[in-house]
Chain A
């Protein structure tokens, strides 16, 4: 946003401009946030500023699984209680949260930081593929769970990983694809329904 011609003090214009760069924040929201911060007590504004610097300074990527962490290795990789023979491969750090919420999975993770997207120029070199393969080489891991998103790029990335890992003789599994709980058959697309039929289970 061009704030050059606005008759406001330079620091205000600067803050509006910075807010405006954030996802989902347009010029009007940026102004509202800025003027809100102007009237809050100084300590509240400082707390926000500190929180922002802290995430940038203290957080890094775990050198094993590439999750975002404030200690290296991260809490999950360090945890002796967890099953170190299983690795669940996800696209983004945020994908770990819903999996952890299920409390069904006690193994480790590996974050790829994206999917193969040829038209954006993103191939295996841009993602944490090499790092995953070297983790599998120590012979400790017996199962890799591919949990990339169930869409075209996620499926293709899983297929490519399967091709890379298969020669190592490790068990490779893929999260089941089917109908969402609480959903409606009427709205299910053919691909999802076909997969659900293929993966049907004895009751």
Chain B
């Protein structure tokens, strides 16, 4: 039996590039098909009927027709456009950052329902939450979990011995915490405070509502950001491009020009 010629799917638009005169190639994250790419014809014209329904960071119901290379979007209806997110500069770029993360860590046509739900939920949280940084850290940790890079936080990732309740070390290459003995053999492992370890452990297995109750001061929040960023950079073998811009925005909002 051949696959049906047209099909319907929910999708979150995570990336778009221009194609030809008025078309776009969209990168979509879907619940059943994972990441897919599709052509949205004519969306750059003001009168396009797809227009706003296939805008970045929008959750839409799409009808697609199978094409020779890429499938073509024939109909689109917005489910949620995350309007509060799109009215705020920091929120927009946090949303684009988690989109870039999903795009960088996934291959096409691999279903990952949990990741779709995480992405959808995180966009909702980013639309409302006061503490956007916390949403980002929680997202990063859970994303790594769902795609098979769950960091080992319970015992030493090298020798499996229990960890002392003190400052330990995080090793990106071992994918987890190292005890003091093992950290000697790996000089690039970074120290991780007990508080940071506790927060990461909690987030690894709790839902968002519980995670959001964690109070972090600026120091702890920056430690968590650095450790996650290093681990992500190690896994991707490159720095995510969005991070430079997020840093700049954060810097400017702390010291107004």
Interface residues of A (CB under 8 A from B): 23-24, 116, 118-121, 123, 151-153, 155-156, 159-160, 163-164, 167, 180, 182-184, 187-192, 194
Contacts and interface: CB of A to CB of B under 8 A. Distances in A.
B244 interface: yes
Interface string B231-257: 000000000111011101000000001
A190 B81 contact: yes
- Interface SS of A by simple majority: helix
Interface in B88-115: 89, 92-93, 96-97, 99-100, 103
Contacts of A190: 52, 78, 81, 83
Contacts of A121: 241, 244
10 closest residue pairs by CB, A with B: A189-B52, A187-B49, A118-B245, A118-B242, A180-B46, A152-B56, A121-B241, A119-B100, A156-B92, A159-B89
13 contacts: A23-B20, A118-B245, A119-B96, A121-B241, A152-B57, A152-B92, A155-B92, A156-B93, A164-B257, A180-B47, A184-B49, A187-B51, A189-B78
A118 B57 contact: no
A152 B53 CA distance: 12
B52 A118 contact: no
A120 B56 CA distance: 15
B240 to A, nearest CB: 8
Interface in B173-199: none
Nearest to A125: B248
Contacts of B21: 24
Contacts of A164: 257
Contact of A118 (B46, B51, B83, B93): B93
B229 interface: no
B78 A118 contact: no
B15 interface: yes
